[in-house]
A and B are shown apart, each in its own frame.
Chain A
């Protein structure tokens, strides 16, 4: 499991990456906290160009609403268009099928945030139902990355297709945070949908452990993978939002109960080598001494670009400089994660999206079904669903339907479930902390440090944001970017993308991942990176 770290031996890389590294630190610390008023001003100014919001409130609407007192008092928050809000604006999932649908109830997570003083300023652009990695499959049109590459900045005229994608599917949320149109944003992360756009837009994107934040009110895509995620400019803001949002919720049976939360807390607190880090002041020379960071070698894939590799090395060096022990680890099932992920996510998508039939709500086709054959149900559904869903959603529904059919299920769905279990077990073997779900009793406090790592470090994406107009060689190429993000989703473990480095002026992101339930440690390490 522990290997020598071959990626970090070249001194030249070390120097080069330190430079980009410093650059990213400066970028992140520039602006003062965004207020509701400044957010609305920025929205008015920038949203027409960036297309981050599907809908937003007007400055006149905030004076009437008194926000609650709490840790998020008067924080302007943007909410992805697939999370139900009480705003009289659509929870459309950027789909024609829902269009102007407004939810009669509000999601639990937005309730929590508003209860802590946050003000929802608008609903953000996204890939339809969360399906996409570039925020291009949307009825609102593509969202635009606020960053411009250094070479493009010199150009006089730039076509729309030359602009950079913010990444998806929570593209609008990442753009809103990066451009100062809100202080923090909620997104959803099924296979990387918060982490990828955060990386490409140069902000922090956090996918908590599955079950830490209630999914009630989050429109389902792949229910066993869906997680509400948080995007902000810095880890401290993410922590503030997470502290308010990560509460038990009886409305979501898969949301962790207070009993499970207490068990996880007891388990994570039973590590003296971690508690001593938590007690240390940030100004110490080696604040993270005692923490072991794993570099999973399988993430060094062929597609990984040179700048992404550089930033990876820089991140590892930075953690080493902070006192961490950096070791190489192996997660041999990683290459199987992508096909398994897509099989499971699409199978669940085909199931979760079966309800959009235009009968009770949403858009219904104007083509009347043949009334002579009322018993034949499929006719009535086909028109509405063909018109309502975009190409990518249709592709995923059809493939997911096939993967679950009685003829194909044992070749696709069942093996994918097995791979998912293997990947989970593999993570359990790598981490020093046991998985709270596979434990019956909490451990007694340990005196000696067990083998295994506390966090993993690897890139969020294989490179920086591509241009909107870039054509991939095939449809499959669109999915390859998810190779870095889906393993954590399959395992249900927490992962966070932190901006580390640039290439040609475009931000790059690094991911940290930790054991199931170890979100607080993950955020602590991320805060230093």
Chain B
């Protein structure tokens, strides 16, 4: 989709201009230059089957196992539009506050490549399923100002097969599992001005689309891919006056940021040195931190768009669109303000939980009848810590709300120490199916409430370590931690740290 910029290389840009600095300041990041940035996101839909066939959409299954006749482009095979993909695309544009189009249709985009079994990609060029909408960036996203980035359109299209280079010398291997998996391409208006805005836009898009079940939106596995259009202009010229370059295959947020920064600098330097900007497609080389030419406009393929004759136009009724709208979950922004208010939480904590699909619902279940702040703290520190250590999503974890609630109750009633509770959590997340109570019993854990025994332990310990005891008394109050740690180790964590420290203090302070 290249529709937003005029394709002229402005002659005015060829005049030399004194380059000042591109030191990041505030919004005018590249003063006195401005950058104009638009994104094209390719998002794999979370549909079970492909866009036009009944084959499973699990593209990471063993190679060439999920292939229907149309996916291999067999003669006589015909596409069948998967209604689930239409619903998911409608969800996507509705959660971006855009409009589902009452009529949409498909087109063929032609080019020869081994990852394209039909010789064309079925996409929506003339009548996309979604238009309009926006994403609002603000403080909760890490910006200190607000910014609205408009959505130009959202179109349904097929993914390509996967080409495997270098596995077999002299050959490119083709895995058709991904061929025909449903994508939506989301095209933003060129409303962004800095790399930071672009990164926040992508992040927010991920949150929204995960939250509404449209896509898993992972850049690591390619279920979200990003192309960026960048042009620069001088402060006194129009935002769209520059010639744009397209940056392709940016596969992480860091790459997006790096590529935009590098490209803006390159364009400013080029124009400042009196050169003309040429419209190009470029990639990003992370090692050198520079963008590199991959295709000039002259060698761009002619896609020969043509209406897809095998798929009739899709007509969606007002009722159907309303049905989809009403099935959407509460959108993250509404959830954020509601959960923050209702439970008295910090908006940072709620934002963190919003970033994890299913987490808010997990939280709200667990918070029923419990201290919401404590529940949120456990989720954002302990559970998220474990998830990131395990490189897992909450939805993939074996931890259940019931287990987590039982853990919190045991903790609140002092049945376990927080050290034991953390161990419980690890066991739950390792796949243990037992409840908190059952596990506590199985371990034979109970909190040592026998203060007399703690007293004895303390006395023994102080006798054993006279040097440290003396240091404490000499004013090195932090020596206390040494003794606490020793007793915690001896009691295998079954004593409450606060009890231990009180008993120790009494012993040390009393033993004048």
Q: For the complex, what is the distance from the CA of A404 to the CA of B305, rounded to whole Å? A: 7
CB-nearest residue of chain A relative to B73? Answer: A355
Cβ-Cβ contact count across A and B, 8 Å cutoff: 107
User: What total of chain A residues lie within 8 Å of the partner, measured CB to CB?
Assistant: 49
Interface string of A242-286 (1 = CB under 8 A from B): 000000001111100000000000000000000000000000000
**Chain A residues near B309 (CB-CB < 8 A):** 222-224, 254, 348
In chain A between 379 and 438, which residues have their CB closer than 8 angstroms to a CB of chain B?
380-381, 401, 404-407, 409, 413
Partner of A216, one of B72, B76, B304: B76
Partner of A253, one of B80, B112, B302, B304: B80
Q: For the complex, what is the distance from the CA of A254 to the CA of B153, rounded to whole Å? A: 27
Q: Tell whether, in the assembled complex, residue A219 and residue B76 are in contact, meaning their CB atoms are under 8 Å apart.
A: yes
Nearest-neighbour CB distance to chain A for B65, whole angstroms, equals 15
Q: Tell whether, in the assembled complex, residue A84 and residue B117 are in contact, meaning their CB atoms are under 8 Å apart.
A: no
Q: Tell whether, in the assembled complex, residue A355 and residue B119 are in contact, meaning their CB atoms are under 8 Å apart.
A: yes
Q: For the complex, what is the distance from the CA of A97 to the CA of B174, rounded to whole Å? A: 21
Q: Does B170 contact A (CB under 8 A)?
A: yes
Nearest-neighbour CB distance to chain B for A186, whole angstroms, equals 13
Q: Tell whether, in the assembled complex, residue A381 and residue B110 are in contact, meaning their CB atoms are under 8 Å apart.
A: no
**Chain A residues near B77 (CB-CB < 8 A):** 105, 216
**Chain B residues near A216 (CB-CB < 8 A):** 76-78
Q: Tell whether, in the assembled complex, residue B112 and residue A401 are in contact, meaning their CB atoms are under 8 Å apart.
A: no
Partner of B304, one of A217, A251, A380, A401: A401
Partner of A374, one of B74, B117, B172: B172
Q: Tell whether, in the assembled complex, residue A405 and residue B119 are in contact, meaning their CB atoms are under 8 Å apart.
A: no
Q: Chain A interface secondary structure, helix, strand, loop or mixed?
A: loop
A374-B172, A401-B304 known; A253-B78 Cβ under 8 A: yes
Q: Which of A154-162, A356-364, A497-505 lines the interface with chain B?
A: A356-364
Q: Does A480 contact B (CB under 8 A)?
A: no
**Chain B residues near A380 (CB-CB < 8 A):** 114
Q: For the complex, what is the distance from the CA of A377 to the CA of B112, rounded to whole Å? A: 7
Greatest chain A CB density within 10 A among B76, B79, B80, B312 is at B76
Partner of A357, one of B78, B80, B110, B112: B112
Q: Tell whether, in the assembled complex, residue B114 and residue A253 are in contact, meaning their CB atoms are under 8 Å apart.
A: no
CB-nearest residue of chain A relative to B79? Answer: A253
Nearest-neighbour CB distance to chain A for B52, whole angstroms, equals 9
Q: Tell whether, in the assembled complex, residue A91 and residue B75 are in contact, meaning their CB atoms are under 8 Å apart.
A: yes
Nearest-neighbour CB distance to chain A for B83, whole angstroms, equals 12
**Chain A residues near B305 (CB-CB < 8 A):** 404
Nearest-neighbour CB distance to chain B for A510, whole angstroms, equals 30
**Chain B residues near A42 (CB-CB < 8 A):** none
In chain B between 278 and 303, which residues have their CB closer than 8 angstroms to a CB of chain A?
302
CB-nearest residue of chain A relative to B52? Answer: A253
**Chain A residues near B304 (CB-CB < 8 A):** 350-351, 401, 404-406, 409
Q: Tell whether, in the assembled complex, residue A251 and residue B80 are in contact, meaning their CB atoms are under 8 Å apart.
A: yes
A223-B310, A377-B114 known; A351-B108 Cβ under 8 A: yes
Partner of B81, one of A253, A401, A409: A253
Q: Does A58 contact B (CB under 8 A)?
A: no
Q: For the complex, what is the distance from the CA of A218 to the CA of B73, rounded to whole Å? A: 13
Partner of A84, one of B76, B108, B112, B170: B76
Q: Closest 7 CB pairs between A and B?
A: A354-B119, A223-B309, A224-B309, A355-B73, A404-B304, A219-B75, A217-B76
A contact residues vs B (CB 8 Å cutoff): 82-84, 91, 93, 98, 101, 103-105, 107, 215-220, 222-224, 250-254, 347-348, 350-351, 353-355, 357, 359-361, 371, 374, 377-378, 380-381, 401, 404-407, 409, 413
